Structure 1
């Protein structure tokens, strides 16, 4: 087949969603998957490229590298790009745009890099055809991406065009809606697979609801888009893409329900419009209702929430809002699991519940955090004890053995942190031995003070000349300091160096 040739592609994503994206690519059949910083590289053919744009939920765009070289300044960049055969990539009558990402000490201005790259491409076509292609910032035919890391330059074609988070189903929106890629990433991190009901009690524009329905029914999120950038490429296979686009053989039925509510009537109207546009209205139920007024669910469900942060949406009292959320979750949703994304630590402090996991995420320009909660009735200690009792015996013994070493290490660390010395074997003696040790220590200390007469005992220069104290009558064995003495081959009594107890210290690093 014409599309069997393998290429390396790069899928871009949001911070801390790389692991989710890698699993998605694996399920699509990608090979040589490598996780990077906000990106995952993989190998596949043209069909996989088309499927990645159609089906990936946590990818922002898919890049196809076409040229790699080294350059230490903008002029060297120009010289390399003007020699590249651009006629194998585009036609002279096609418009283009160049997006630049620069991490370099040699290139200090990313826009100037874009200008020089544009000049190189235009000059190439002028020398070849006597005319130049147009630059379009709004809707170009060809999207070019240039990435510079110090002197390493990678030129790629952007196969997606507009960011893939722009699904196409959101016609209208409320203030501060959550990014579709971020919403899908949170749902996949939460393990959402459509096997239970789902609730978003502060649904806003309905993004969580729609993404949850698409995941539960295994509907490709890219089918709502008007188009992709690869449709303008010279090697575009329209028949192949048409087959992949119309293939709904992997879609499944969803037997549960997705519930969304909001206290604002306008938000529910917006959600209803977007849900209908996505075609998942049969799976989603919307209500105008405050979270505190919602009844308890009839069965355990998954709860996802993106409450207002008080940044773009002003709040009269954020602490009161988050305290209400914690109180309702605790008393109204035992047996459920909740995943909440929020901006400030004080928000989670207001919730007042012990979280299971926490993950740093970026919601736009805000550094947020995602926390998960396993909800139960009663005290946390009782819940943990019950969970342990319900585990099989072999798993409990394995868990106990696994954490025994960690508990001992924590105790040692606490002792060192508080200034206490680590315990030695000599500290674990019988009462009879302890009494003898106490008598010996008191006697030794008294004689040592009498002989020293106020001077520091066992001065480093006086240690070898110090008169050895006689042992009390009836005593057997060595003094505490004598255990370091030994007799060499010549019959002389010598002294070993005392063992050194290495105490490991821990230093916290700022993130």
Structure 2
């Protein structure tokens, strides 16, 4: 692809983060931006492709579509790929490759078999022409291809990212089931976090919210930590262009503080290691402290943004769950008046125990767990008096919540029931409808890294688990 030639791309994301990703894409100069389900399509040039991988906080990977065709079974996919794709543009017989497949179809029940037949198409293509087959490498291929099947429509794409972009590269340790970096960043952007206030996570676990909040506040690209991208192995890779993009960002001043606490000393130790690896430790204050220990006298500042990801029911008995979430509600109301608080959980009963009226809610997925994110305006006294005072004073703090109030008016559950007989009512609506090489932020240099090499991050990420922290 030529440097200035525009082409179509697809950024994959998590359910519920599509609109945020759209805004991010527009901010880096992408055009023809269109939202889909768990994805956003857009157009741009090679520079846009590189920027998307480096700057997007809510993207999981960036794909470049190669072809779209119809197929009724895996053998038809094999035949089309063998007959119609010039694989020599992307591979040699000495290259390694891998296929990722995503299938939404009753006709294709085994995604691994689709990948197997696609692999056969490439192998036979080179065997018949050069008497040599390229090898499959699941862990570190030269080229990674993506197949998406919807019913009988098959889309073949190049994967420009390699490892999922949620693997920033700063995580050196984690607690059980840490929250995805992409989800954490999406929640922060949804909450309007820009570094203009203090930030608090009173149950911070391994510090994902803390680190992502610092990166946003300081304008540090999340991809700055990555050791490599898949596009660096492409035949048309432009090392100078990538170097310029990596060097063009400017750190933004951040005059506030990010506070994290947890009852677990081990969690705080891990969080400290992670924020240090990300180079944001001077902006983060950590303490061993349970959420019940917070009081109005000990909150960090009069106003701020609080976001937390308390344990889910998978690890708590019902009585423990009710007690914990009841404590969260009490602490939010009495210790954090003046804040906006955001809580995500898969336990809707937990929100009932919190007992506060939310102004925002959204369905999200933390791994495979369906969750809900709720936002609360915290104040002393009665809500009506609080809102009236803010509106009369025309304070920005009150105005910031207007769009979410309006957006979710349709979801209120206390609206009057229909007067129509039950049989005549419509269908009930449910709520479900060390950074890159030796690069350091202060120095902005790559050390001895040469583009086109294949360095791999040898830091152990551990087994990836999804859940609540």
Q: Quick one: distance in 1 between partners of 2:237 and 2:380? A: 57
Instruction: Say if 2:198 and 2:301, in contact at 8 Å, map to a contact too.
Output: no
1:297 and 2:300 correspond: yes
1:37 and 2:40 correspond: no
1:200 and 2:201 correspond: yes
Please state how far the C-alpha of 1:391 moved relative to its aligned partner: 5.5
Q: Quick one: distance in 1 between partners of 2:429 and 2:259? A: 42
Residue by residue over 1:123-146, the C-alpha shift from the partner in whole angstroms, topping out at 9 and shown as x without a partner, is 001111110001111211111101
Q: Quick one: distance in 1 between partners of 2:122 and 2:365? A: 35
Q: Quick one: distance in 2 between partners of 1:414 and 1:100? A: 45
Q: 1:327–1:293: structure 2 CA closer, same or farther, 3 Å change rule?
A: same
Please state how far the C-alpha of 1:94 moved relative to its aligned partner: 1.3
Instruction: Say if 1:297 and 1:333, in contact at 8 Å, map to a contact too.
Output: no
What is the TM-score with the length of structure 1 in the denominator? 0.77
Which is further off, 109-118 or 202-211? 109-118
Please state how far the C-alpha of 1:104 moved relative to its aligned partner: 2.2
Question: Equivalent residue for 1:162?
Answer: 163
Question: Equivalent residue for 1:486?
Answer: none
Question: Equivalent residue for 1:285?
Answer: 285
SS at match of 1:92: coil
Could you tell me which runs of 5 or more consecutive residues in structure 2 were left unpaired when the two chains were aligned: 433-469
SS at match of 2:384: helix
One of 363, 367, 391 as aligned partner of 1:364: 367
Q: Quick one: distance in 1 between partners of 2:313 and 2:361? A: 21
Q: 1:17–1:411: structure 2 CA closer, same or farther, 3 Å change rule?
A: closer
Instruction: Say if 1:98 and 1:143, in contact at 8 Å, map to a contact too.
Output: yes
Question: Equivalent residue for 2:458?
Answer: none
Please state how far the C-alpha of 1:276 moved relative to its aligned partner: 0.6
1:171 and 2:172 correspond: yes
Q: Quick one: distance in 2 between partners of 1:315 and 1:206? A: 26
SS at match of 1:268: helix
Please state how far the C-alpha of 1:286 moved relative to its aligned partner: 0.6
* Regions of 4+ moved over 4 Å: 312-316, 387-392, 410-415, 504-507
Question: Equivalent residue for 1:75?
Answer: 75
Instruction: Say if 1:66 and 1:155, in contact at 8 Å, map to a contact too.
Output: yes
Q: Quick one: distance in 2 between partners of 1:199 and 1:418? A: 49
Q: Quick one: distance in 1 between partners of 2:415 and 2:134? A: 70
Residue by residue over 1:406-444, the C-alpha shift from the partner in whole angstroms, topping out at 9 and shown as x without a partner, is 9xxx9996683699xxxxxxxxxxxxxxxxxxxxxxxxx
1:7 and 2:7 correspond: yes
Q: 1:505–1:170: structure 2 CA closer, same or farther, 3 Å change rule?
A: same
1:48 and 2:42 correspond: no
Could you tell me which runs of 5 or more consecutive residues in structure 1 were left unpaired when the two chains were aligned: 420-503
Q: Larger Rg: 1 or 2?
A: 1
Instruction: Say if 2:313 and 2:347, in contact at 8 Å, map to a contact too.
Output: no
Q: Quick one: distance in 2 between partners of 1:192 and 1:278? A: 19
Question: Equivalent residue for 2:352?
Answer: 349
Q: 1:77–1:508: structure 2 CA closer, same or farther, 3 Å change rule?
A: same
